[in-house]
Chains A and B, each alone.
Chain A
Amino acid sequence: MTAYLAKRLIIAAVTLVLASMVVFAVMEILPGDPARLMLGFNASADQVELLRNQMGLNAPLVLRYLHWAGGLLSLDFGRSYTYSVPVVDLVRERVVVSLPLALIALALSTVIAIPVGVFSAGRQGRAGDTLAMGAAQLGVAVPNFWFALMLIYLFAVWLRLVPAGGFPGWNAGVWPALKSLLLPAVALALPQAAILARVARSALIEVLNEDYIRTARAKGLPYSAVLWRHALRNAMIPVLTILGLQFAFLLAGTIIIENVFYLPGLGRLVFQAITQRDLIVVESVVMLLVAAVIAVNLLVDFSYAVVDPRLRGRQ
């Protein structure tokens, strides 16, 4: 067990370092001088040069990378070129929106997908399965912003249960904040749940053809007990893999939903930073997301070992 975990941990660390090099290198290659950008196009070459020196942009590449990477480690991401405030403050404001949103969406999608997958796999080829998988097909096909609009129309405009958009901030209280995240989370979760339910179903159907399912049936367990007790855990590995990928998407790929609901999340921050060539913000957020994805994958790897004793090795 420890050997497996240690190996995964080392792989994760190496990946993180390599990714930081790639992110840094890409930002170096991109055209556009930050100093020139900050001073505007009317500034003289001398002024620009002075600022470049101040910002340390003239130092050798390796030194600048080390300085940047060292800063990341101590949560010092530098200052935004456009807003002249520490990047870390910008990011912090947004993470408190994006992270809870992603977590709620992920939880919702799991809670919907697993029972639907089990239901469908247990009724393979029958009417219930066809209906559930038809709905899942629809969920995959329909874009989530359309879902979002329908949800706003139904719950915000018509039933007036939740606000149609915006985020009051956590200072306004936990419930109002959560309420404003509810609809976007559902809109994000539904397509993800549709994909996950299909994965869960096919993984389960494969497991249900295994010999040990027959052994369990021969013990006298009813079909439903066999499904939940024996099949589900064996079908978890592909489900966990997809879950890990989905979390990464939910954290970063929510620009559209954030726009629909007017939420100040990470997606919008990156989008704005890119249009304003605020490269240091882009760099920092991308690194943050990379770190989050690696951390989630590490978690998924660990959970494999929890699910499947064969990965733990001999005790």
Chain B
Amino acid sequence: MSLLEIENLSLVIGKTPILKDVELAIAPGEVVGLVGESGSGKSMTALTIMRLLPHLARASGRVTFDGIDILAAREDQMCALRGDDIGMVFQEPMTALNPVKTIGEQVAEGIRWHTKASRAEAEERARKMLDRVGLPETKFPLSRYPHQLSGGQRQRVVIAIACALKPKLLIADEPTTALDVVLQAQILDLLRDLVSENRMGLLLISHDLAVVTEMSDRLTILRSGEVMEAGDTASTLSAQRHPYTRELALASMHMPARPKTHQAGSAKPLLEVEGVSRAYPGRRVSLFRPAQPVRAVDDVSLTVEPAQSVALVGRSGCGKSTLARMILALDKPTAGAIRFRGETITGKSEAALKPARRDMQVVFQDPYGSFDPRQKVEKLVAEPLHLLEKQPAKAERREMVAHALDEVGLGPRDMDKYPHEFSGGQRQRLSIARAIITRPKLVVADEPVSALDVSIRAQILDLFAELNQKLGIAYLFITHDLTVARAMSDEVLVMHEGKIVERGRTAEVLDNPRSEATQALVAAAPDLHRAIARRMQEQG
């Protein structure tokens, strides 16, 4: 008998159809993966089970949990189910906890609400649960506030809240998407253990096929609110009968074609970073002792040659982005020198930096946040043109923007649109167009594809590869995703706690990692091939 059974579930919000005839079942102790790209209706399916849908949403069909008709249940019956029999973990651990309440209060609150336990009893149970999720009392007393914890630790607290009353079903909506790969592996392990300890059903929602394959017994693939394929994980993914399943699998393992590989040492370096450090004033521990500075970047040296693609990989907080900011002359190093085309860029005035800025552009992670929503594309893409020696005339400027848009696969008509008229992938194309309009020699890309769906990500990676091959643009790719590093770079640098701990040709380093930090990254990185092979083996 299934624990959760969804039959013919359809959902409309206002007049927009969100889900159509979705079917899904979970048995006790079973892990079911729900895979799909953004907007496919994964989260809405989860919120329907919890009955936490937005006001205007109307669901039809049948959702049965443990014999209860969820869609027909009264609100007080749902309150009794939520947090007791059904727990839920969300994507964004940084914002999922109430900032003004201690973690103890937040874990104990659900326990007290459902069991009517006294404060002391509830706190004791909360304590045990926090111990269980890997937050021991000595380091994480109940009196801690969320802002005193890191992202991974906060996600553990969220899991403790969801699992405190040993629910029969846990819904985890992209529980590790905001975390780096090492933390992701730890959190997935924890979820797996909790499932087997309590014979809990787990609905794991993710856009990452590799993660779902590693975790789930069965999977359901969703696209625009409809189930494309559902079945046993190993056979579904090895057979890839449905074209969309194949498309997703191919996209998530996509390697763009880069026939011209770069030979290291073939040219004078374009960018040289020499012994660069960046220290921040630390927090004062005592009134009488000076604060110990925190070294975000510690004595880093690297070079990028023309047309070379270098990946800088590392866990979150390792100093990658701080280093990138200094290379872009947005931040000053406390020690060391950064040279671009042989000229020092540290400590120069903005006017003196103009030529360097022209030849060194940037692409950021978030294609939504990096555009002014009130300006047209023509103005946004033309922005770096003020760095040119001679300002182009209006007609010439339009010509240049049209050309840049063409190079990233957009049309000249897109010039008069506003950013909100584009999809996430198209916006990332816009930011690439903006970066290449001045014909730069180097583009620094800070997690340029990590906010994108797999199919879009494959297209954007192709675009990056093409521009590198055609225009000879050198890249510094900053990423925590080893698949991206492998797909895009000639050389890789592994950063750990502010230091470069390993460097070399990408394939060599990733296939034979020598340093501990690299080994941890490689071991934790989800890999679809490996995951399918393991699944097949387990099932014989």
Contact = CB atoms under 8 A, between A and B. Distances in A.
Interface of A: 3, 210-212, 214-222, 225, 229-230, 233-234, 307-310, 313-314
28 contacts: A211-B90, A211-B96, A212-B95, A212-B97, A214-B52, A214-B96, A217-B50, A217-B52, A218-B50, A218-B82, A218-B83, A218-B87, A218-B90, A218-B162, A219-B161, A220-B83, A220-B84, A221-B83, A221-B109, A222-B79, A225-B113, A229-B109, A230-B98, A230-B101, A234-B99, A308-B99, A309-B99, A314-B148
A307 to B, nearest CB: 6
B75 A222 contact: yes
B71 to A, nearest CB: 17
B95 A210 contact: yes
A215 B80 CA distance: 15
A219 B145 CA distance: 18
A210 B52 CA distance: 14
B352 interface: no
Given A211-B92, A218-B88, A309 B81 contact: no
Given A215-B161, A218-B52, A222-B75, A309 B96 contact: no
Nearest to A124: B55
Contacts of B95: 210-212
A219 B100 contact: no
Q: Secondary structure at chain A's binding surface: helix, strand, loop or mixed?
A: helix
A217 B84 CA distance: 12
A4 to B, nearest CB: 13
Q: Secondary structure at chain B's binding surface: helix, strand, loop or mixed?
A: mixed
A217 B145 contact: no
| Residue among A216, A220, A225, A314 with most chain B CB within 10 A | A220
Nearest to B85: A220
Contacts of A234: 98-100
| Residue among B50, B96, B100 with most chain A CB within 10 A | B100
Nearest to B145: A309
B52 A220 contact: no
B182 interface: no
Nearest to B80: A220
A309 B158 contact: no
A51 B145 CA distance: 65
Contacts of B98: 212, 215-216, 230, 234
Contacts of A217: 50, 52, 82
B73 to A, nearest CB: 13
B242 to A, nearest CB: 32
Contacts of A221: 79, 83, 109-110, 113
B82 A219 contact: yes
B257 to A, nearest CB: 40
